[in-house]
Each structure stands twice: as structure tokens, then as C-alpha cells.
Amino acid sequence: MSLIPNIFGGRRSNVFDPFKDFPFPNSVSTSFPEFSRENSAFVSTRVDWKETPEAHVFKADIPGLKKEEVKVQIEDDKVLQISGERNVENEDKNDTWHRVERSSGKFMRRFRLPENAKVNEVKASMENGVLTVTVPKKEVKNHDVKAIEISG
């Protein structure tokens, strides 16, 4: 099952939609009124999700944050939530700011996990501003098919 959109214009059917019921970031101000437009770049933190034979792997770009400023949670055994906050830099009254482009504020991303996720074995790590969350997959048993002879 592929989770990557087909960028070449073809149609895909029966694709698991991890964003179902989590329309984000259609409108930052409507979904999260406490976030201002200045923070929208940070609010809409980009996350890649790939599936390997063994696991679902999420990678989030969160530069400048320490692991203590990021939360990874599983809700109701079916939703992965990644959240955190970057605080505004302390200002000295003698400082003169010429430009402020680095965003601050809160962010939150949520993903509905597929049925085969082992939510009790999730692991997370951070390196060079990239959070990696690994959700192992349950082994899917192949169904045995037994032919039944038809009498008659």
C-alpha cells in the first residue's frame, strides 16, 4: 500500500488516507485560532510518512528544538500526535531587530494509524533537527485457503 501521492497525474484507489478526519493545514487561523499568521510556517511543520516492510516511519523537520520541547503521543491506540513549541527569543531593550523570519509558537500534527500499527512499541529519536518516529507493524498472517469438495 502506498501512502505517497501520485505526482504524475494517475489515479490511485484503495489508498489508506492518514489525513482523513485531520484536515491540516487548510487554514491555520480556523483550525488553531491561537496561532497567528506570523507563526504559520512553524505551525504547519512538514512530516514525511513512509511504510517499510517492518514499520511506519515518520520524519518531522523541527530545527532549533530540543527533544524536551517536543511531545510524541499515541491517543486511543490509533492516533499519533506530534506537538511542541518554540519560544520567542528573549529581547534585550537595546537590541534593534531588522528582520524576523524564524517562526515561533506551537505546532501539532496528528496521523490516524493503520490497523497494523504496534502502538505499544513506538520509538522516537531526534538528530540534526529531524524527529524520527518509528511505529512497528504487526505481522499480517496470510489466510489459508482450503478447497472443499462439492458432493453431488
Amino acid at 14: N
CB atoms within 10 A of CB 75: 12
Average pLDDT over residues 94-104: 79
**pLDDT at res. 18:** 60
Distance CA 137, CA 121 (A): 9
Full set of structural domains in the chain with CATH: 28-88+102-136 (2.60.40.790)
**pLDDT at res. 14:** 55
Average pLDDT over residues 38-61: 81
Our measurement of the distance from residue 57's CA atom to the centroid of its chain's CA atoms, rounded to an integer in Å, reads 9
pTM: 0.64
**pLDDT at res. 80:** 96
Q: How much is the mean pLDDT over the chain?
A: 78
Concatenating the DSSP letter of every residue in 32-67 gives: -TTS-GGGHHHHT--EEEEE-SSEEEEEEE-TT--G
